[in-house]
Structure 1
Amino acid sequence: MIRFEPRGPVTALRMIGISVAAAGIALILAAVPMMFAGVSVFEAYGLMFKGAFGSLFAFTEMLTRATPLILTGLAAAVAFRAKLWNIGAEGQLYAGALAAVAVGSGALQLPAPLLVPTVVLAGAVAGGLVMLGPTLLKTRLGVDEVVTTLLLNFVILLFVQMMLEGPMKDPMGMGWPQSEPILDEAALPKLIARMRIHWGLVIALVAALGVYFLFKRTVWGFEIRAVGENAPAAQHAGIPVTATFIRVGLLSGALAGLAGVGEVAGLKGYLTADLSPGFGYSGIVVAMLAGLSPIGVVFAALFIASIFVGADSMSRATGVSNYLADLIVAMALLCVLVSGLFLRFRIRIVRRRSGREAAE
């Protein structure tokens, strides 16, 4: 008979080791389809590394790709710490982007030092308000937030498409469904001239440090951890569980909304329906790979971004589909989930004794 016995507390060092091992195992498993495709594994991974780190342009592209992943990863990590299963970061990202474009495309005439923070704040508020609805449904009516946040992604995306085909459509866009461009005064400045990397990366890193400080040094962070560990016990101890869930939902949605702000105000300059290739869903992988650690989210996002950017470069050189990146990311998530089981439980094989032996 197989028995699962709980282990002791999971140390941070062990969690880091599990995440690194999961990433390594995912790369090893992804080598199998490469070999069937007739491609040298070492050559392919070498090209992937070069495509992500081989030049200043490649490195900045990787950081640019990592920026929204850090923010959506933080959004998932914050919510999951409180056992609030936010699967709607994709929709919250689009809501933040829509609000940023609405404010930053000419609705307000302000100088850049005032307009840029206003655009950033508008995107964060929009993302937070989107998450407020599912959070209230969970706390007031007991509605499963996994269903509501997931389905809300499609509702928001359809709403964005409606706005891009209607009131917010760019009259100079030659018929393409896109918004009016962000004003230069509302755009996030570039960090390096003639590169796409922008101040959204700084915002993401500051957000990671802020969430780390929140978890480790504040009463609210303690309340989040307590509610996540055992909500009824936290309620019995006097912690306001409902208020904690609402605050967590607002913060989680705001972080995802900031990812949308960075994509339109720092990178693309206008909003389209294909703004995100799935950053909201990839953020869940980032958060799980990081063990819900805010600092770990930064490194996990860099790893995922390097895989995506490197796979694009490798695909052009070898002809192997860049969908290999999705395969690696999916395998990394599966490895983290499986290793998490063994991290928390010890498997013991117990032999059943016969009735006579038991009586003796």
Structure 2
Amino acid sequence: MRLEKRAMRSGMALVLAPLGAVVFTLAVSALLVHWAGAPVLQTYGLMLQGAFGSVNALSETLTRATPLVLTGLAATVAFKARLYNIGAEGQLYAGALAAVAVGGLHEGSGWALTPWLSFPLMLVVAALAGALLLLGPALLKARLGVDEVVTTLMTNFIALLAVGALLDGPMKDPGALGWPQSVNLREELELGKLIAQTRLHTGLLWAAGLAFALWGLFKYTVLGFDIRALGANAKAARFVGVPVGRTVVLVALLSGALAGLAGAIEVAGRTGYVTLDMSPGYGYGGIVIAMLAGLHPLGVLAAGTFVAGVLVGADSMSRALAVPTYIADVIVATSLIAVLVATLLTQYRVRLK
């Protein structure tokens, strides 16, 4: 059995591939639900209802989706240029801590700025913190050919250990009763609510706006062309005049900045301060979302909402039927594998020797 490249990708195949992947994922997950002793249709119904069945459910899903979309965009722009950024988790925490370092300066300290100046400064510093954390591995790849998968993965541990030291040291909130958390963000710098009496905040609009901006960058700008050319074939891109080293650095700065913004928006929109358990793995989840979206910025919006819906719906389903919430992780992982295989089959056909 061998794979043979198709002469042309069918438009129908491109439409049916993700649908087939979803059907396959639901079928595999149904076996696990049945094994757990729960009715399959009722389980899926409760999961759907828990994620989208009410205003509160939808708001929770979109709240969870906001940081996932931003880290998904960070992975998308990096992977598009074949810069495999696995360090978005650390970049998110770096951005969150930088945001609190600026936005946590209260009036009594004598250093606090007015909100109209503090808020944009907070976002810029957060983006810069995430960008600088990725810049080192990018330069090592561009100059010395060092594998960025290893270096970016290691920066996650370095960043989290540094955050832990700061939360137990100079940035620790003296009113937290010994709990390792940062000082609170100033109330006037917190993001507004999109729906009253819910946790859904205007960070969702920031995420959607950045997704459209990134789509426009890929489609209409010279930098977008350079990124796509670099991802398609680095040697050919260099041959036609694409500045490979400069493009890698710009991609690293943009990807790290998006992950840093995810941390700032999570602090300003939901938590109000930084703790070591602030992120349940948003940085790693962004990689899954980018791959599910086929590295398309607008697809990241749909993929982020899907993954968030599965995670939020699984909590509701688990409470009603006592089915393990780990089913949600299986659904997300299986959907990723299924989409990758389905995408492969749109490019290649299976031939039997």
Tell me whether the two structures share a fold, i.e. TM-score over 0.5.
yes
Q: Which residue of 1 aligns with 2:35?
A: 36
Q: Which residue of 2 aligns with 1:164?
A: 167
CA deviations over 1:206-259 (Å, ceiling 9, x no partner): 100000000111111111110111111111111100101110111111111111
CA distance in 1, matches of 2:218, 2:139: 23
- Aligned pairs (5 A) from 1:1-360: 2-8=1-7, 10=9, 14-15=13-14, 17-106=16-105, 108-350=111-353
Displacement of 1:24: 3.0
CA deviations over 1:168-198 (Å, ceiling 9, x no partner): 1100000000000100122122222221111
What TM-score comes out, normalization by structure 2 length?
0.95
Displacement of 1:15: 4.1
Structure 1 residues 278 and 9: alpha-carbon distance in aligned structure 2, compared to 1, 3 A threshold: farther
CA distance in 2, matches of 1:143, 1:184: 43
Displacement of 1:199: 1.5
Structure 1 residues 315 and 72: alpha-carbon distance in aligned structure 2, compared to 1, 3 A threshold: same
* Aligned amino acid, residue 166 of structure 2: M
Displacement of 1:8: 3.7
CA deviations over 1:303-332 (Å, ceiling 9, x no partner): 001000000111111111111111111111
- Equivalent residues of 1:80, 1:86 under 8 A apart: yes
What TM-score comes out, normalization by structure 1 length?
0.94
Structure 2 residue matching 1:169: 3-state secondary structure = coil
Structure 1 residues 278 and 78: alpha-carbon distance in aligned structure 2, compared to 1, 3 A threshold: same
Q: Which residue of 2 aligns with 1:358?
A: none
Structure 2 residue matching 1:347: 3-state secondary structure = strand
* Aligned amino acid, residue 204 of structure 1: A
Displacement of 1:38: 1.0
CA deviations over 1:47-88 (Å, ceiling 9, x no partner): 111111111111111000000111011111111111111111
CA distance in 1, matches of 2:299, 2:10: 14
CA distance in 2, matches of 1:206, 1:13: 30
Identity among equivalent pairs (%): 55
- Equivalent residues of 2:10, 2:346 under 8 A apart: no
Runs of 5+ unmatched residues, structure 1: 351-360
- For the pair shown, the structure with the greater C-alpha radius of gyration is 1
- Equivalent residues of 1:19, 1:289 under 8 A apart: no
